[in-house]
Amino acid sequence: MKKLMVLMVMVYATWMLAAGNRVLPLPQKRGGMSLREALDKRHTVRSFQKKELTAQQLADMLWSANGINRENGKRTAPSALDKREVLIYAALPDGVYLYDPELHLSKQILPKISSADVRKYCGKYDAPCYLILVPDKNRQPREIFAAVDTGYVSQNIYLAAQINGLGTCAMGSIVDREKLIRELNTGKNVPLLVHPVGIPR
């Protein structure tokens, strides 16, 4: 029975990776710069090296942004009425991935949703990665709460970037929101902020 379970997990993992999904290591939760130091150093970065993020850097950024930090499924970012509505898409050179906080911790997988490089529709800064913050209207219909909650995630991204030796910029000026909505198939949900992320140049 145990062997069958192991086999099933292996088959599932192989199938998930064959679909183009990425392996997302568990987040680092200890060590690094103190919060005081990160606050002291936090600043906006608009120019990045071409080097892609490592899997660990991507995992740390996504988990810090809005990952699960408690047994009850609650998140690193607060949300009004605990709606947890802020979705994070990672736009990378080989496509777009949708962060699933549960799948991250249970199976270490980052699901791929598109093979398009949509970074050009995000912001005007050349970066190896863009994180796209999209509040889900089904979970939180009140725009003011959705905007505030997105702000918390954005600040987490700033601080996590600082701690991980990366740089970022919160961007409300999205190059082409309509194309992003189409490519990401977000329907009535609108990207509110995008964050280029990379090693500062």
Binding stretches for ligand FMN (CB under 6 A): 43-44, 46, 169-173
- What's the closest the beta carbon of residue 2 comes to ligand FMN, in angstroms? 51
Burial 76-105 (b: 16+ CB within 10 A, else e): bbebeeebbbbbbbbbbeebbbbbbbebbb
Output 29 or 43, the one with its CB closest to ligand FMN. Answer: 43
- What's the closest the beta carbon of residue 96 comes to ligand FMN, in angstroms? 20
Output 107 or 120, the one with its CB closest to ligand FMN. Answer: 120
Q: What is the DSSP letter of 76?
A: S
d(CA 143, CA 17): 36
- What's the closest the beta carbon of residue 172 comes to ligand FMN, in angstroms? 4
- What's the closest the beta carbon of residue 25 comes to ligand FMN, in angstroms? 28
Output 43 or 201, the one with its CB closest to ligand FMN. Answer: 43
Q: Are 170 and 97 in contact (CB under 8 A)?
A: no
d(CA 85, CA 65): 13
